[in-house]
Amino acid sequence: MEVCYIMKKILVTGALGQIGSELTMKLRDIYGRDNVVASSRRKKEGQESIIESGPFEIVEVTDGKQISEAVKKYKINTIVHLAALLSAVGEHDPQKAWNINMNGLYNVLEVAREENCAVFTPSSIAAFGPSTPKDKTPQDTIQRPETMYGVTKVAGEILSDYYFKKFGVDTRGVRFPGLISYDTLPGGGTTDYAVHIYYEAIKHKKYTCYIQKGTYMDMMYMPDALHAIVSLMEADPDKLIHRNAFNISAMSFEPEDIYGEIKNNIPEFTMDYDVDPVRQAIADSWPNSLDDTAAREEWGWKPEYDLPKMTVDMLTKLADKLKK
């Protein structure tokens, strides 16, 4: 089916991060390079393709004025707000995680209210906690997370819904699982092992896993994650019963599953364990798998990649990248 995209002028915060670096390029392909403004709190080496392939601004999300100036300068009507600290780094500095994740989102929502912008903000499987049903976690359920990252994600979901109901700001979001990609490394999450394992499998044919055998978590390959963002942003608002944020799911696995799948492709690959208690405790508090029926029904969510398909693609693309 031919998709007809509605004209957008988009500001991406955190555009040089794991999601942002790939999403910015995809959005530029869809909406035109000049209609997608990448922003980050600083320029990073190796990210020239994003900085140079369209407009780029330095924006510190904890400073609302900087967001407002960028929105006005480019006549932005949609903010994709990705700047945030992840779960593991958040536990090392919870105050900083609160400041960036909560104040950053509050500033984005305030600018969106004043300048009439739509807002997409990712939530996470981290928005759940130990009292949440663990298997096929429902869309609407108990959310009592025990990490600062999770606290900011639940609060962010509620705040985003509040801005929709109170002020009519078109806020939307998904609860991302662990995201696996070869372009930019994740910035300190609990699920990062499922990215590192591919790098180590190619580089050293062995990996030491910091997550315990048998620990299931939901995961997703980046192309599906990008597709989710664009589809939800383009979804017919009349069909949305939920907004912040939708469960989405693609695959659920434990370390032995991904190890086995990589071994199918690289027979000499070996793995051992050195469990990190901080990240293990976080993983244990999260669901094993999510029920994404609401996303499927309300905006047609459907993932393309399972573990075997992702592994073949990831190993091919990453081997290519590491050769350069």
Q: Which residues are catalytic?
A: 149
Site for ligand SER contains 229 (CB under 6 A): no
Quick one: 68 or 191, whose CB is closer to ligand SER? 191
**Rounded alpha-carbon distances, angstroms, from residue 33 to 24, 209, 225, 263, 306:** 9, 40, 21, 40, 31
Strand order in the sheet with 246-247: 123-124, 174-176, 246-247
Which range of residues in 73-81, 166-174, 185-193, 270-278 is near ligand SER by CB under 6 A?
A: 185-193
Helix (H, G, I), strand (E, B) or coil at 119: strand
Q: Please list every residue from 14 through 53 that binds ligand SER, using CB under 6 A.
A: none
Indicate which single residue of 21, 39, 107, 124 sits in contact with ligand SER (rule: CB under 6 A): 124
Q: Which is nearer to ligand SER, 37 or 251 (CB)?
A: 251
Which listed residue (17, 104, 129, 189) binds ligand SER by CB under 6 A?
189
- CB nearer to ligand SER: pick between 19 and 117: 19
Nearest distance from residue 126's CB to ligand SER, in Å?
Answer: 5
* Residue closest to ligand SER (Cβ): 189
Q: Three-class SS of residue 191?
A: coil
Task: Give the number of residues in contact with ligand SER, rule: CB under 6 A.
Answer: 11
3-state helix, strand, coil in the chain (%, to 5): 50, 15, 35
176 binds ligand SER (CB under 6 A): yes
Q: Is 193 in the site for ligand SER (CB under 6 A)?
A: no
Q: Give, as ranges, the residues between 258 and 287 that touch ligand SER (CB under 6 A).
A: none
> Strands, DSSP E only, in the chain?
10-13, 36-40, 56-58, 78-81, 118-120, 123-124, 171-172, 174-176, 178-180, 206-209, 217-221, 246-247, 251-253, 270-273
Contact range with ligand SER by CB under 6 A, out of 23-31, 160-168, 189-197, 233-241:
189-197
* 86 contacts ligand SER (rule: CB under 6 A): yes
Q: Cβ closer to ligand SER: 171 or 191? A: 191
Going by C-alpha positions, the residue among 51, 15, 27, 86 that lies closest to residue 226 is 27
| Binder among 87, 101, 160, 311 for ligand SER (CB under 6 A) | 87
At 183, give phi and psi (nearest 5°): -80, -60
In single-letter form, the type of residue at position 158 comes to I
Q: How far apart are CA 17 and CA 185, in angstroms?
A: 8
Q: Where in 138-167 is the site for ligand SER (CB under 6 A)?
A: 149
Give the Cα separation of 143 and 133 in Å (integer): 10
Q: For ligand SER, give the closer residue by CB, 104 or 178.
A: 178
178 forms part of the interface with ligand SER (CB under 6 A) = yes
Cβ proximity to ligand SER: between 124 and 247 the closer is 124
7 CB-contact burial (10 Å; exposed 0-12 / middle 13-18 / buried 19+): exposed
Q: How many CB atoms lie within 10 A of CB 162?
A: 14
Nearer to ligand SER, 178 or 287 (CB): 178
Segment interacting with ligand SER (CB under 6 A) among 26-34, 70-78, 103-111, 187-195: 187-195
Asked if 80 interacts with ligand SER (CB under 6 A), we say no
- Residue 87 CB, shortest distance to ligand SER, in Å, is 3
Which of 124, 140, 88 is closest to 219 using CA atoms?
124
Task: Please report, for residues 4, 113, 247, 258, 269, the alpha-carbon distance to residue 122 in angstroms, rounded to integers and kept in the order given.
Answer: 24, 18, 11, 25, 34
Residue 102 sits in the site that holds ligand SER (CB under 6 A) = no
Tokens of 292: 């994404």
- Residues found near ligand SER in the complex (CB under 6 A): 86-87, 124-126, 149, 176, 178, 189-191
